């Protein structure tokens, strides 16, 4: 009986504890959020862990200070909202003052505040991961200790100086049994306001702040308001939350009509937002059952075909190929044709950007700088195309592979610039500028998307003193037309219809649609008789071109803006609408194809005749920020890829599914299927395209078309911050010992093998 009674008492205690935690769920959920971030279980892939466990000691101390103050604020608010505090039974107080209420608050804080901070800090000692080796956990502990020490000292001084008593008098709290506690709460809220004002001053002065500290201050101030409402007007805190959401939705809904002011805009398209381009269909007339409709997009194409002055100045794809071939003949006394190189680079944030540059720099060093002159086209997604954009926009200057190497990271000019942090200021802008604009009607002049463009330009000044990201497409065009600069093809996706938006100096109209024999459908030119229209029935319109929608804008439209369009993945960069009617939001190219192979394959198919005429063969180089070759070749899932990335190395045994995973399969299956389909189905489809290209191009000449893939074999964040240790291992993933004379020692075995095969195929650059 006593055992049963003890069990029932334990159950009752657990029920009481859970009831206490969940009575105001928004407060403990914040603590849980920080626990998960600190333990590396939340936001790991987005680089949130790198912001929390910073390699900069000062920043990590500030992170600890912010978390310590926030946890104290949360627990103070929760204590004030608790009418029954009989359970507080700690014999020692953190606040040894004469006031009984504050002294009891100190007992409560000693019971919950100190342990929660130790759990926050100590969790990392037990939750290790592949990138935990460089993390120094002690500065965070120092910051937490500073938060506790400063708070305790401040309250003691405020009590002994009489400040708390005066606040009670001025605030008419003398008759309230919690008067001294409310005075403490007022001081903490006032401190949050003062710190927030200071953060705004520093932000607008250009300082780089701790994003964790900024978030903690904002949450602390919000918690103070929440506690005030919940204490003095119980239930009104939920009304306030509903009103805030409703106002934000109302402000957003005001941008739905056709005559709306666009909330966010792309730079150098401002004039177009004043008069958005009509792109939809319009009912012109109706006669009985017959409806005559006007398609504004196809009318735009027809007008450009009929009126040369309205036509965009785009480069036919054959023109640079012809110029490359002519230059080759001049240099080699009319003999042979050049080899052609296409590069498809994957998404993956800063890891993909740096890895793309590392591979390009490495290939220049291994194959000679003349190799770069054979690159004709870059396609890809997200971070990979950010790296490609910097490489191409600065192409006329010192070859990337010849630039000096940073001894700390092993990175050279292009890759080293790309490895610089651009996340902290972006997150600052999101918290201090973007967040308040949720309740601001009308357009916004600055946002985190524009901020990350500015940071890329600032981090990458270029060898001639002007950032390549600040160059317009018009400035790149002349060398591109001459075949002396590769072409960039950005392909972000449009949210509303999943079509791609092609941003390039090349004329890619033939890549925007598919056509073929279709029973019951008329040839496309029957309805829209202009020269560029396909002769066969239209199957689908899968893409549109930015510079065909807005002719003339290429003269000002910057490479950095196109790079940002292509890398607009969630939270870090916002989805921004084009100046079209109806609006079309632009997001990351990885939603459609995270590897860029699809677009490169289409370009090869469309221009086969010119490629055969002007070149002696083409190689598609895939630069992937992920390890997925093993999983492609074997009947394995991504867990096997993590356990055994190299099939020749053995590797640790596979982990079995635990009971929790198995029991939740009914719930997780749909989400897992969607995520895995987005991540993995694309490269299966791309490999099927490569299979078709091989059979198509090599049917008469065995080695005309080939592919080679370079995968990053190390883990790193997919966001826009890269610690020094991770930058170093990415550099070593291509050149393990850069100064070694033996290529087998200079490069890892699998990189050496692929470079050797590419060098053999490439030869002297032509034949």
Q: What is the mean pLDDT of residues 337-347?
A: 95
Tokens 């065909």 locate to: 548
List, in sequence order, every residue forming a beta bridge with 293; answer none if it has no partner: 283
Give 509-513 contacts, CB < 8 A, sequence gap 24+: 509/301, 509/545, 509/548, 510/606, 511/543, 511/599, 511/602, 511/603, 511/606, 512/541, 512/542, 512/543, 512/544, 512/545, 513/538, 513/539, 513/540, 513/541, 513/542, 513/543
Strand runs labelled E in 105-178: none
Q: What is the pLDDT of residue 652?
A: 46
Which band of pLDDT confidence, cut at 50, 70 and 90, is reported for residue 258?
Answer: very low
Kind plus residue range of the DSSP H or E element containing 585: strand 585-587
Which band of pLDDT confidence, cut at 50, 70 and 90, is reported for residue 639?
low
Q: What's the rounded Cα separation, in Å, for the pair 165 and 159?
A: 7
pLDDT in tens, 557-575: 999 999 999 999 877 889 9
What pLDDT sits at residue 404? Answer: 85
Mean pLDDT of the chain: 86
* Per-residue model confidence (pLDDT) at position 682: 83
Does the structure show a pLDDT above 70 at 290? Answer: no
Most confident of 224-238, 493-507, 672-686: 493-507
Give the pLDDT band of residue 130 (cuts 50, 70, 90). very low
Looking at the predicted structure, is the pLDDT value of residue 681 above 70?
yes
**468 versus 738: which is more confidently predicted?**
468
| The pLDDT value given to residue 730 | 92
Q: Looking at residues 1-23, what average pLDDT do you find?
A: 71
When pLDDT is cut at 50, 70 and 90, the band that residue 206 belongs to is very high
Distance between CA atoms of residues 578 and 576, nearest Å = 7
pLDDT at position 655 over 70: no
Mean pLDDT, range 443-466, rounded to an integer: 90
Q: Is a pLDDT exceeding 80 seen at residue 616?
A: yes
147-151, 251-255, 335-339, 522-526: least confidently modelled range: 251-255
The confidence score (pLDDT) of residue 259 equals 47
Residues 159, 165, 166: CA angle, nearest 5 degrees: 120
335-435+465-507+551-643+674-762: CATH, from 1.10.287, 3.30.70, 2.60.40, 3.40.1090: 3.40.1090
The DSSP element (H or E) to which 119 belongs, if any, is helix 100-126
Question: What proportion of the chain, given as a percentage, has pLDDT over 90?
Answer: 52
Angle, helix 100-126 to helix 138-160, in steps of 10 degrees: 180
The number of angstroms, rounded, from the C-alpha of 733 to the middle of its chain's C-alpha atoms is 23
The string of pLDDT tens digits covering residues 424-434 is 999 999 999 99
- Taking alpha carbons only, the member of 353, 356, 345 closest to residue 421 is 353
Domain boundaries, the chain: 16-252, 335-435+465-507+551-643+674-762
Q: At what angle do helices 724-732 and 349-367 cross, to 10 degrees?
A: 40
Confidence tier at 143 by pLDDT (50, 70, 90): very high
552 DSSP assignment: T
Structure tokens given for 364: 């220049």
Tokens of 503: 């941003």
DSSP secondary structure letter of residue 434: I
Kindly report the number of other CB atoms within 10 A of residue 641's CB atom.
18
Model confidence band, residue 334 (pLDDT cutoffs 50, 70, 90): confident
What six digits make up the tokens of 559?
């490479």
- Residue 728, judged by CB atoms within 10 A of its CB (0-12, 13-18, 19+), counts as buried
Nearest to 590 by CA among 45, 49, 30: 45
Report how far residue 607's alpha carbon sits from residue 507's, in angstroms, rounded to the nearest whole number: 12
Q: What is the pLDDT of residue 83?
A: 73
Which of residues 700 and 102 earns the better pLDDT score? 102
Q: Give Cα separations from 443 to 145, 263, 269 (angstroms).
A: 43, 4, 14
The listed range with the strongest mean pLDDT (447-456, 656-665, 672-681, 730-739) is 447-456
pLDDT tens figures, 367-421: 988 999 999 999 999 999 999 999 999 998 888 778 888 888 889 889 999 999 9
Question: pTM (2 decimals)?
Answer: 0.91
| pLDDT attached to residue 283 | 75
Mean pLDDT calculated for residue range 126-153: 78
Q: Kindly give the pairing relationship between strand 493-494 and strand 585-587.
A: antiparallel
Q: Specify the pLDDT at position 132.
A: 42
Q: What is the DSSP string of 159-219?
A: HHTTHHHHHHHHTT-TTSTTHHHHHHHHHHHHHHHHHHHHHHHHHHTT----HHHHHHHHH
The pLDDT tens digits for 470-499 are 999 999 999 999 999 999 999 999 999 999
- Give me the mean pLDDT over the 34-55 stretch: 82
């Amino acid at each position: 009986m006593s055992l049963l009674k003890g069990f029932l008492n334990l159950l009752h205690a657990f029920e009481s504890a859970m009831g206490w935690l969940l009575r105001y769920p928004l407060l403990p959920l914040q603590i849980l959020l920080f626990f998960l971030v600190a333990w590396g279980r939340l936001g790991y892939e987005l680089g949130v862990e790198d912001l929390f466990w910073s390699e900069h000691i000062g920043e990590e101390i500030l992170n600890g200070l912010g978390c310590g103050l926030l946890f104290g604020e949360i627990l103070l608010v929760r204590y004030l909202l608790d009418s029954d505090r009989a359970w507080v039974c700690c014999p020692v107080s953190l606040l040894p003052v004469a006031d009984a209420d504050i002294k009891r608050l100190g007992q409560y804080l000693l019971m919950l505040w100190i342990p929660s901070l130790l759990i926050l800090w100590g969790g990392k000692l037990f939750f290790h991961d592949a990138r935990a080796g460089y993390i120094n956990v002690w500065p965070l502990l120092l910051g937490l200790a500073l938060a506790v020490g400063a708070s305790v000292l401040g309250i003691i001084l405020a009590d002994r100086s009489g400040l708390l008593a005066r606040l009670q008098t001025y605030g008419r709290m003398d008759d309230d049994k919690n008067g001294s506690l409310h005075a403490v709460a007022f001081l903490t809220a006032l401190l949050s306001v003062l710190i927030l004002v200071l953060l705004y001053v520093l932000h607008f002065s250009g300082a780089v702040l701790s994003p964790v500290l900024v978030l903690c201050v904002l949450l602390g101030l919000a918690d103070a308001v929440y506690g005030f409402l919940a204490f003095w007007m119980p239930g009104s805190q939920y009304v306030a939350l509903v009103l805030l959401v409703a106002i934000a939705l109302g402000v957003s809904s005001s941008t739905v009509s056709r005559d709306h002011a666009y909330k966010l805009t792309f730079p150098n398209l401002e004039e177009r937002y004043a008069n958005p381009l009509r792109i939809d269909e319009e009912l012109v007339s109706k006669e009985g059952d017959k409806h005559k409709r006007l398609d504004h997009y196809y009318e735009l194409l027809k007008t450009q075909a009929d009126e040369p002055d309205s036509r965009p100045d785009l480069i036919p794809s054959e023109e640079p190929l012809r110029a490359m071939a002519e230059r080759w003949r001049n240099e080699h006394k009319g003999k042979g044709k050049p080899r052609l190189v296409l590069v498809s680079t994957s998404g993956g944030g800063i890891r993909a950007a740096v890895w793309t540059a590392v591979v390009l720099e490495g290939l220049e060093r291994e194959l000679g700088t003349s190799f770069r002159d054979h690159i004709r086209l870059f396609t890809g997604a997200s971070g990979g195309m950010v790296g490609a954009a910097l490489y191409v926009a600065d192409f006329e200057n010192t070859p990337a592979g010849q630039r000096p190497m940073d001894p700390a990271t092993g990175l050279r000019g292009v890759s080293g610039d790309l490895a610089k942090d651009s996340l902290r200021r972006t997150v600052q802008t999101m918290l201090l500028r973007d967040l308040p604009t949720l309740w601001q009607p009308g357009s916004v002049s600055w946002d985190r998307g524009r901020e990350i463009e500015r940071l890329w330009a600032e981090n990458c000044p270029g060898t001639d003193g002007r950032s390549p990201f600040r160059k317009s497409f018009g400035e790149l065009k002349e060398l591109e037309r001459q075949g002396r600069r590769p072409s960039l093809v950005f392909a972000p996706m449009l949210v509303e219809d999943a079509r791609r938006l092609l941003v390039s100096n090349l004329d890619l109209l033939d890549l925007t649609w598919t056509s073929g024999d279709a029973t019951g459908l008329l040839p496309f030119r029957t309805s829209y008789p202009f020269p560029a229209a396909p002769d066969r029935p239209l199957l689908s319109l899968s893409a549109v071109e930015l510079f065909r929608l807005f002719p003339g804008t290429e003269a000002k439209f910057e490479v950095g803006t196109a790079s940002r369009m292509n890398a607009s993945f969630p939270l870090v960069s916002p989805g921004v609408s084009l100046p079209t009617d109806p609006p079309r939001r632009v997001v990351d190219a990885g939603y459609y194809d995270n590897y860029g192979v699809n677009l490169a394959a289409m370009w090869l198919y469309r221009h086969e005749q010119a490629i055969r005429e002007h070149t002696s063969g083409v190689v598609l180089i895939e630069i992937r920020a992920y390890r997925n070759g093993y999983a492609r070749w074997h009947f394995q899932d991504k867990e096997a890829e993590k356990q055994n990335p190299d099939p020749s190395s053995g590797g640790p045994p596979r982990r079995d599914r635990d009971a929790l995973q198995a029991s939740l399969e009914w719930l997780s299956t749909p989400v897992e299927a969607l995520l895995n389909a987005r991540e993995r189905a694309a490269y299966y489809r791309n490999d099927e395209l490569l299979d078709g290209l091989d059979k198509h191009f090599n049917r008469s000449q065995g080695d005309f078309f080939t592919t080679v893939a370079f995968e990053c074999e190390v883990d790193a964040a997919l966001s826009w911050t890269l610690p020094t240790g991770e930058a170093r291992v990415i550099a070593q993933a291509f050149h393990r010992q850069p100064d070694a004379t033996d290529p087998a020692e200079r490069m890892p075995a699998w990189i050496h093998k692929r470079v050797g095969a590419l060098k053999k195929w490439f030869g002297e650059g032509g034949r």
